Every structure is written in structure tokens, then in C-alpha cells.
A and B are shown apart, each in its own frame.
Chain A
Amino acid sequence: MASPKSDLPQGTLDLLVLKVLEGGPFHGYAIAQRLQLMSRNVVQAQQGTLYPALHRLEKRGLLAAEWKVSDTGRDAKFYRLTRKGRAQLEVETAEWQRLAEAVAAILRTPMEEA
């Protein structure tokens, strides 16, 4: 059964990409696969948004890219986190968790009918 795909706002996708790359350098396809895997198919990054996001993050200096020989024998473009990227990841993760807790707190509170 197909799970509903959620449309990610732009900033959130950036955060997830940074997180994925915490585990080491990957190329674009690998990042897409991991996102799908790690979110149990909830997040399926449309390739139309993933690659612009990667380039944007590279331009901001949060990622660095390098063309290396890949497992298929062909050259592939591998992205890795820079130091700046790591710092940004920490900041944004903390932000996200704060937000998530606040939202969850509100949702937990039973609302009385006026």
C-alpha cells in the first residue's frame, strides 16, 4: 500500500540532508535512498527538490563536493559535511526539537468546549 507522501518545506529538506550526511560522504542517489529508508518511506524526496537543495547547501558552504570513483566504477559526485555544516546541523536540530515539543504539547492538551 502506498504511504502518503508528504511535501517537505524547503528548510526541512535541507536539515534532513545535513543529517544524512552526518554519516559520511554520499552521492545524490544514495542520499535519496537513505532519506526514504530512514523515514520508513514517509519522506520521498522528489529528485526535483533534492538536487537543487544539495547545490544550494554547497553554495552556502555547508557541504563540500568531490568527484570520486564510485562502486560502479564510474565517477560520481560525493557530498560531505563541512565543519560549518556540522555546526549548522546542531543548531537546526535543536531548533526543530524545540518546535516539535511545543507543537506536541499543545496537541496533547485536551481542549474544552467553550
Chain B
Amino acid sequence: MSLRWWRRRDRLERELEAELQDHVERHTADLVAQGIDPVEARRQARLAFGGVEAVKEECREARPIAWIDESARDLRFAWRQLRRSRVVSATIVVSLALGLGGSTALFMVYNALCLRTLDVPKPQELVALSMVWDKGSNMWLPYPVFTHLREHTRTLTGLLAYSPMGRCKVEVQGVVEPAEGLWVSGDYFSTLGVTPAAGRLLSPDDDRPDADVLVISHAYWRRRFGGDPAAVGRTVVLNRESFVIVGILPSGFAGTQVGIASDVFAPLRNRRHAAPESNAWTDPFQTWLQILGRRRPDATALQAQAELAALFRGQVAEDVPRADAGMKEILHTVRLRVEDASRGSDTGRRAQNREPLRVLLVGSVVLLLVVSLNIGTVLLARGTARRHEMTVRLALGAGRARLMRQLATEILLLTALGTAAGLGLAAVASRLIIATTFPHASRLPLSPVLDARVLLFEVASALAAALLFGLVPALRAARAPLGAERVQIRGGRRLSLHSGLMVAQIALSVVLLLGAGLFVRSLEGLMSRGTGYDRSGIVMFEVNARDAGHEAEAIPPVYRRVLEGLAALPGVEAASLSVVRPVEESLYLAETVTVADTAAATTKPSTRAALNHVGPGFFETLRIPIRRGRAIDAGDGPGTPPVAVISETMARALFPGADPLGRRLNAYGGVEIVGVAGDIRHAKLKDAPRSVLYTAVYQHHRGYDYPQTFYVRTRDPGGHREEIRAVLAGVDRRLHPTRVGPLDGWARASLGRERVLAGLSTYFGVLALVLVCLGLYGLMTYLVTLRVPEIGVRLALGAAPGAIRARILGDSARLVAAGLLIGLPAAYVAMRPLGSLIHDVAPDEPRAMLAALVLVALSALAAAWWPARRAARVDPSVALREA
């Protein structure tokens, strides 16, 4: 739309005006020449000419000045048409919005998690390093590998390393709030190519033990500091140590981990992270860093892989002599893997959620298909109703192409409205989906952004839907002979297109409902499955004595006093603590544990076991049965011999057929087994029972690195918040409980994926069913209207109204049956690949299928009931008169 175009359009308009005015002027002049008074002459000339605007409009139609005027006219006309049938138009827009909103919301989440590249320059140059060996892989690497590669690489322009802080506590002006933190190497920001929005970013100079500086993310700056420009230079307390904020990152950058939005970035070598003398910096086998690099523009991925792998092998060769037997085995086959990291490095969140998201996306497309077919039937019916109007317009000289264009404009207008509404819905729904999938995050770890890809997806889906439901009535309109007003009385066969669409919708809704049923059953199954411990009646909270400044030996008395205070509360039956929470996997410790006291010649049995440090009364509070021996009790404290309780699975794995009591294991420098506990689902509701090693929390100082989770068994797990706070404050004013809540609630929230699957699939299924019922109702009503003369004849000839009703119901039953016949095998086929997402239920479970079938059949027949009743109530005399 260049200036020249506008000016041409202006000029043409002015010429048109001038031309017509000229005519009137000449006519006036002629009349004046005939002797008529000038004023009267002008009046006559104007009258003779007629409406100037109308003529202009005709001229514009004859020779379009600009397509935009045409389109504007079409739009105005289309809008008027839509308003004339307000209810139908609104229904179309709403159902389109619901369908598009669902699929776009899912795509926004999928895009944010799996497709979007990092907000850095040239993200395709980024690579991530990991180790693989014949029996496993590890995405964490040791620090010496990092320095070695950084020093010798020639295919990378830079190498960065980071280690997650996890959730940390940041105190700003006395208020403590959780945040996500990252320890980053000096080259982190320069390698990524990020520039600060304010202040400066960390540089290699800051990567020192005594540099207490921080960089914060843009979102965190807005959230915590309200966008205050004076935030740079402020001092905050991070995990009880003071740091100075030196810079703010640009908006859109949230770290390099997928699905985790980092708020604060501190130097990797800072002593708060690990002391300079810690062996983390020198141990070639301690894996705790994620390493990314940026390829040189002229280096290919293969070259980088080859060079880095060679450098890695060179270093490994040097370290082999220092390795123990188990490590030597790994080192034998280990090699470095270099992968593309343009989308950040996956911490498992992407891999876990990709499959359910894809399944839901497919489901949403199926729903959109149902929506389109439904709208198609509505428009078909409306098209038939408007046939009279079309005939008249065609007879009056409107071009067929013009009519088509106007119909198309109406459809596009409906689609545009539905798309806009759908976008709004998607923005809200996507946040809801993310919040439900990642319930343990303090706020959204992913931000669903409306970028070009999402917009393209929505517009493409909308156009595809519009094509589907617009093409159908357009084809029908093109084929129908004009003036064929008389419609045959035998309505059944003539509406084959209409009925076909209905059958298709029914079939698809069966598929969606079956999916919904399976996912809901799966979720319920997971929620109600036995976990080995009693989930109800427990309230949990977290607290860390180190926050209050206590260290090492001072800690056990603190926790003991807390337990005493809790046990003294009214209504509390028992209380205990542990390090690992049962329904959360963010803290998961596992190690290979070997039996220590077998005869020297035999191989020592070993197994990979999950670890937990628990306090006295743990098994009693959670009601985990002790099968043999005893539980950890108050007597197991510092100074007493280290003991352990093992799970049944572990007992079977290490001591098959023998008594494990009294045996020793090599964990934690040597522990004696004093009891065997019943199997539980250790960290997730979906976990299978496994080997678990429980040690006494007061006997191992490493346990105090982590916050402790306290359990309180009480009749009212929802309450006690204030009392808990009071107990903690009573022990030490600096102690604050976090993440307080009933265990059952956490359990439910931990099934984020399953809840999203169940929730959204139910939404799809229910919406499809509602549309099917509305569609069937409309179709049947229309059919009855068509057949009123025939019904009148039948009734007049003595047919019973019940027979008429049965006939109509029979017609709809045939439609429904056809839909079910197609839908059932389709559903069967569609559900097979979902096996991995459904727990405890087989995908082809007959009861679920039966339920879906019955639900669709009943709803559809209920929808057909009213038109059938109306048919039976036809007054024969009125009907015959109208025929």
C-alpha cells in the first residue's frame, strides 16, 4: 500500500466525482439556455440525474477503483448478514473459539517446551556435551573436563558450564522468597551472546571465590523489584549470604535449562557454592556440571564432535589409573557426545512431557475436526434456508462469482472472530496447563509466548477449519439448480451430505470420549493405588535449620525440639521427619550399595538403592509396616553405631532367602541392618516399589545439607498452619516453615501430567458430545420440518402419533448406529499407541469402550427426542394446508 497507490485511488475517486458533477453542470447550463431560472434549472438537473451516490456506487462496482473498497463493502455486507442470524453466528464463533483455543493452547505449551530456541544470537551454533558409555549416560560432567576442553578446543569459540542451585532463598529488605538459581562460569553470558538490559553481566573476572555478585533475570527483576532501576547495586541475601546485584538480563532470557526459568545467576567458583579447596574442582569423577559450547561459524557439528571427543578421550586416558574398579569399567567405553543445544539443555522435563503433549495435540485436532464438521452442518442448513435469497439475487443480475465472494467473506469473518476469541482463550489455557503440569514450581517455569510459530499454527488451523466447513455449503450451493424451491418429501436420501457429516461427528466423538475415559480412569487409578504408606491425615512442611544459622552438631537438637513441640500439639498423633519427600522427585538420591560383610572370595551382591535419611517415628507416622526387626528410633543418634532399615525389595535383592538383620552394608562408611520395611512407592505415585535404604538422620551430617521434611499425623491435615509456625518460632525465631500442606494434596499435584491429560481429554470429549447433540437436534428438527406435509398425511390417514415418533427416533438411531459402528474400531486403533501414558488400564478395555458407546448413544437419542415429539404433535389439518 504505497503512497502512490493511495494517491491513485484518491485521484480516481475525485475523477468520478468530477465526471458526474460535470454532467449535472452541463444539463443545468442547457436548461438555463432554454430560459429556466438558474436555481430551478439546477434543481431539475439534479432531479433528472438521480442519486449521485447511488450512481457512484454502481460505477465503482462496474470498475473497481481499489480492491480494498470492494472488500470493505463485502465485509460490511457480511457483518450485516451475520447480525441477522445472531444466535447461529454466535454459536459458530463460540464453538470455533473453543476448538481453536484448545489446540492453540497446547501448541503454545509444546512450542515453549520443545520448539522454541533460546533467546540468544545464533542459537543453532550452541552444543551441549554429555557422556555416554555402554550401560548408561550422564549429562553431568566433571570440572577438570570443562577446563581441559576450554583450554584446548579450536572448533568452539567459547565453552560455558553451570550447576543448578535449585530452589534458593533470596531475602530482599527483610522478605524471604524462594527463587531459582544457577551457578555459572565466567564465560556463560559472553559465550551465549547475551547483553545486559541494565548494569553488567558476569565475566571471567567474577569467577572467583570472593566475588559476591549476582545477575538477575528480567522477569525476576519485574516480579521482585517491581522494575525498579535502582535494583542494580542493591545487596540481597542469597541463602544467608550477601550478594550485590550487578546487572539485569534482557527480557526473554531465562537460563539455558528447558522448563526451568532461572532467576539469579552467581559465579560458579564462589566460595558459597564450593570452597576453593573442595575436591569438586579437581576430582575427575565427580559429575556435577552441565557444559555448553558455541561452535565457530565455520566449524561443522561433526568437526566439533570429533575434536571434543578426541580431547575428552585424551583426558580420560590420563585419569584411568586413578579410578576404582567400577569406574574403570565405565571409563573403558565412555565417550563424549555433542548435541545440538539451540533449544537449551533438557533436564528431563521436555522428555517427560513431550509424549502427552503430542497426544493431546492430536486430540485437539480431532476436536477441531468435529467443530468444523459441526459448523459445516449448521451452514449447510442455513444455506438451504437462504437458497431463496440467493435465487432472487442471482435473478437480479448479481454475478455468481460475486455471490461466492460474499459467502466466502461471511465465512472468513466468522473464522476471524473465532480465531481472535480462540487466541484469548489459548493465552489463558496455556498458563493453566503449565501450572498444572509443573505444580511444584513457585511460578510458571515456561512462558507461553505468542510468537510467529504459534500465530502461524492458529491461522493455519483456522483456515483449514474454514475450508472444511466453508467448502461444504459452497459446493452444495454451486451444484443446486436455481429456482429449485420444491424439496422432495422423502427427506432421507436427499440429505446424504448432511447425514454423512453427522455420522462422522458421532464417530469422532466416540474416539475422544474413549480417550477421556481412559485418561480419567488412569488418573483415578494412580490416585487410589496403594502407596505402601498411609497418605491420608498427614500434613507436611519443610524447614532448614541452616537457615537459622545452625551447623553440624547444633542441628539435631533443633529438630528434636521441633518434633517435641509438634507432638505436643492437640490432635497430633505422631510426627517425624525425613530428607526425601514421598511424592516429589526433585530431590532423589540414589547410589549403588554393596553388602560389606561377605566372605572375601565371593562377589559382593550390590544393588542400586534410593536413599533417605529419616528420623525416629518415621515408619510409625507414615504407617509403613516393619516386616522384620525394628524401625529407626530415638536411640539412633550421633555417637551410636550407624544403622539402617532396608525395603523388602532390597532385602530380596541382596539377601535372597536369608535374614538381612545384622548384616552390614558399605553405605555411609558402614551401616548395620536393623530392620526390613514394607515396600512403598518411594518418590512418585507412579514409582514401582524398589530398593530403599533408610538411615538415621541424626547419624549423618550430609543429611543436613538439605531442608528437612516434617510429617505430622493429625485428624485435620488442612489446618495447623499457624500452630506449626508457632512451634518453629518457639524453638528458634529464625525458622520458617515452607511448602506446608496435606500430603494428599501434594500427591494429587504431583500427578501433573496425568491431570492435564485427564482434564483436557475430558474437555475434548464433552465438547464433542455437546456439539454432536446440538447438531443432531438441529438436523432432526430440520428433517421434521421438511416432512411436515408427509407426517400430516400419515396422521390424517390414521397413523398413531407414537408410530410417527418411533419413526423419527428410528431415523436418528440409524445415524447414531452408523457413527458408532465407524467410531468404535477407529477408537480402538487410536487408543493402542497410548499404552505408555495410561496406568493400570488396558487401552482396549471393554468396559471403557462400552461406557463411551452408551454415553454417545443415550445423549444422541436424547437430542433427537424433542424433534420426535414435535413430529408426533403435528396437527394434520395445519400440515395439509401448508403442503
Binding site for B on A (CB under 8 A): 10, 27-29, 32, 46-49, 51-53, 55-56, 58-59, 67, 72, 74-77
Contacts and interface: CB of A to CB of B under 8 A. Distances in A.
B59 A51 contact: yes
Contact of A52 (B18, B23, B25, B61): B61
Contacts of A28: 19, 22-23
8 contacts: A29-B26, A47-B55, A48-B58, A51-B58, A51-B59, A52-B58, A53-B62, A75-B18
B54 A58 contact: no
B49 interface: yes
Contacts of B62: 52-53, 55-56, 59
Given A47-B48, A53-B62, A59-B62, A29 B22 contact: yes
B847 interface: no
Contact of A46 (B29, B50, B397): B50
Nearest to A49: B58
A48 B56 CA distance: 9
B594 to A, nearest CB: 92
A43 to B, nearest CB: 15
Given A67-B15, A74-B22, A77-B18, 9 more contacts: A10-B397, A47-B20, A48-B51, A48-B55, A52-B55, A52-B62, A53-B62, A72-B26, A72-B29
Given A27-B22, A29-B22, A55 B55 contact: no
Nearest to A56: B62
B63 interface: yes
Contacts of B59: 51-52, 55
B63 A32 contact: no
Contacts of A72: 25-26, 29
Contacts of B49: 47
Contact of B63 (A10, A49, A56, A77): A56
Contacts of A49: 58
B27 interface: yes
Contacts of A77: 15, 18-19, 22
B50 A47 contact: yes
Contacts of B51: 48
Interface string B23-34: 101110100000
B395 to A, nearest CB: 14
Interface in B47-78: 48-51, 54-55, 58-59, 61-63
Q: Which 10 A-B pairs have the closest CB atoms?
A: A52-B58, A55-B63, A56-B62, A59-B63, A55-B62, A29-B26, A52-B62, A55-B59, A29-B23, A47-B49
Which one of A10, A49, A77 has the highest number of Cβ atoms from chain B below 10 Å of its Cβ? Answer: A77
Nearest to B20: A51
B41 to A, nearest CB: 14
A78 to B, nearest CB: 10
A59 B12 CA distance: 13
A86 B434 CA distance: 72
A28 B532 CA distance: 96
Nearest to B59: A55
Which one of A46, A52, A59 has the highest number of Cβ atoms from chain B below 10 Å of its Cβ? Answer: A52
A49 to B, nearest CB: 8
Contacts of B20: 47, 51
A48 B50 CA distance: 7
A48 B25 CA distance: 16
A77 B12 CA distance: 12
A32 B26 CA distance: 11
Which one of B49, B51, B54, B55 has the highest number of Cβ atoms from chain A below 10 Å of its Cβ? Answer: B55
Contacts of B25: 72, 74
Contacts of B29: 72
Nearest to B19: A77
A96 to B, nearest CB: 20
A52 B61 CA distance: 8
Nearest to B61: A52
A58 B18 CA distance: 17
A26 to B, nearest CB: 12
Contacts of A76: 19, 22
Interface string B3-26: 000000000000100111011011
Contacts of B19: 28, 51, 76-77
A52 B684 CA distance: 77
Interface in B676-709: none
A47 B58 CA distance: 11
